[in-house]
Amino acid sequence: VPGARAQHALRILQDVNDHKRIYAPETVDSRLLSRNGNEFRSSLRTYKKKVLTVVLDYEFDSVYRELAPGRWQGTIRSTRIVEVENFGEKNELQKPEGTGFGFLWRLNSWWHVQERDGGVVMELRSISLTRNIPLGLAWAIKPIVTSLPRETLETTLGKTRAAVLALSRQGAAR
């Protein structure tokens, strides 16, 4: 991100309450649950419509560490992921953990942020775990499970880049 600083990227990544705006429309809710310095607990709700509509509620523990001046690493680990049934309806409910279609069971991510060449370079690595897909539903669910991780990474990187760029331009205009 040309002209940006590591602090711009960290501000975007750590402002969990604003993630529902930054990462909309896929992220429909985001909340900071607690913060202690560079350690965070947060919750997130995502909405994805493909063949099926998938709404997931997550809880994460995140830690950001400065490795060197202008160089940071963020470790984000899911502590809970549940599917939401009847999203937006009066009878909306979270399914018990470990039940449902098995779209996503765990999600861990690592952000690397480094100031370099007059800007900031951001890298996002992620690993996601799914459960076995019920045989009768594989035709509908497997395409979602196999394409969702790549699409999510691409969208997250693109929207993070745009938000960091906008923030860095605001800072330069002051």
Given this model, what pLDDT does residue 124 score?
A: 96
Given this model, what pLDDT does residue 174 score?
A: 43
Asked whether the beta carbons of 83 and 94 are under 8 A apart, the reply is yes
Given this model, what pLDDT does residue 172 score?
A: 55
Q: In the chain, which stretches have pLDDT less than 70?
A: 134, 172-174
Annotate 76-111 with DSSP letters as a single string.
Answer: EEEEEEEEEESTTSTT-EEPPTT-SS-S-SEEEEEE
Asked whether the beta carbons of 111 and 123 are under 8 A apart, the reply is yes
Q: What is the mean pLDDT of the chain?
A: 91
Asked whether the beta carbons of 161 and 124 are under 8 A apart, the reply is no
Given this model, what pLDDT does residue 83 score?
A: 93
Asked whether the beta carbons of 30 and 16 are under 8 A apart, the reply is yes
Given this model, what pLDDT does residue 71 score?
A: 98
Please give the model's pTM, rounded to 2 decimal places: 0.88
pLDDT tens for 55-65 read: 999 999 999 99
pLDDT tens for 26-38 read: 999 999 999 999 9
